[in-house]
């Protein structure tokens, strides 16, 4: 497991985007949260004020899954977690028998004291294939810390056979103890 505290625009556009944001958004602390990044991993940025981000973009680029992920990041920071992005590296074999390394991203690794949570933001999980895709990285993590998938829809929290908690975003945001269900 590799930890990356990385947050995303295209590397070539990053400084340009940050400069533009500095000019158009008022500053009260950090507007975007840049975090350390390991070589070879995607760089991400999360806006501390999603409404200002949307206004700055003239309400274009309204990808709900990205906005939901941004809101989850902000909530974890409000709850005073240190937030990282993780990469799980797995050795696999191609159909030809060649060994190759595959990386699976963990959206958030939230740490606070001795507590750690692995969290995936999944806007929708309409079928088993999508559920497998969203949980692949979590299943590959071989430790006993809590693993959580947050979905957009309002669902009754439940655990799968791998002890992964599935919870709706509304309950996650409104109940600070929801991560420990």
Please tell me the predicted confidence (pLDDT) of residue 60: 74
Residue 34 has a pLDDT of: 41
What is the structure's pLDDT at 37? 41
What does the pLDDT read at residue 67? 87
Q: Minimal CA–CA distance to 76: which of 118, 44, 134, 37? A: 118
- pLDDT tens, residue by residue, 84-103: 888 888 888 988 999 998 88
Q: Report which of 21, 70, 75, 82 is spatially closest to residue 44, judged by C-alpha positions.
A: 70
- In the three-class reduction of DSSP (H, G, I as helix; E, B as strand; rest coil), residue 76 is classed as helix
pTM, 2 dp: 0.75
Answer whether residue 178 shows pLDDT above 80.
yes
Q: What is the mean pLDDT of residues 104-109?
A: 92
Taking the C-alpha atoms of residue 116 and residue 166, their distance in angstroms, rounded to an integer, is 17
Domain 2-180 sits in CATH 1.10.287.130: no
Higher pLDDT, 37 or 120: 120
pLDDT of residue 31: 39
> For the chain, what is the mean pLDDT?
80
Position 86 scores a pLDDT of 85
In angstroms, the Cα distances linking 93 to 80, 98, 102 are 40, 5, 10
Name the maximum alpha-carbon separation found in the chain.
55
Q: What pLDDT score does 16 carry?
A: 57
- Taking the C-alpha atoms of residue 147 and residue 122, their distance in angstroms, rounded to an integer, is 13
Give the start-end residues of each E strand in 27-76. 32-33, 46-47
pLDDT tops 90 at residue 18: no
CA distance 118 to 84: 10
pLDDT score, position 15: 53
Stretch 115-125: mean pLDDT, rounded? Answer: 96
The structural domains of the chain, with segments of one domain joined by +, span: 2-180
Residue 22: C-alpha distances to residues 32, 46, 102 (Å): 10, 14, 37
């Amino acid at each position: 497991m590799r930890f990356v505290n990385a947050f995303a625009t295209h590397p070539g556009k990053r400084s340009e985007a940050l400069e533009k944001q500095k000019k158009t958004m008022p500053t009260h602390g950090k507007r975007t949260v840049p975090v350390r990044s390991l070589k070879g991993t995607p760089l991400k940025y999360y806006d501390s004020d999603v409404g200002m981000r949307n206004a700055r973009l003239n309400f274009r680029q309204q990808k709900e899954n990205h906005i939901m992920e941004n809101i989850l990041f902000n909530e974890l920071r409000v709850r005073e977690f240190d937030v990282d992005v993780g990469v799980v590296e797995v050795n696999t074999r191609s159909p030809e028998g060649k060994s190759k390394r595959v990386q699976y991203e963990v959206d958030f690794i939230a740490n606070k004291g001795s507590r750690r949570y692995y969290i995936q933001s999944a806007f929708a999980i309409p079928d088993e294939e999508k559920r497998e895709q969203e949980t692949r990285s979590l299943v590959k993590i071989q430790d006993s810390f809590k693993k959580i998938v947050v979905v957009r829809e309002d669902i009754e929290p439940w655990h799968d056979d791998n002890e992964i908690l599935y919870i709706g975003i509304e309950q996650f945001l409104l109940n600070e103890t929801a991560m420990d269900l």
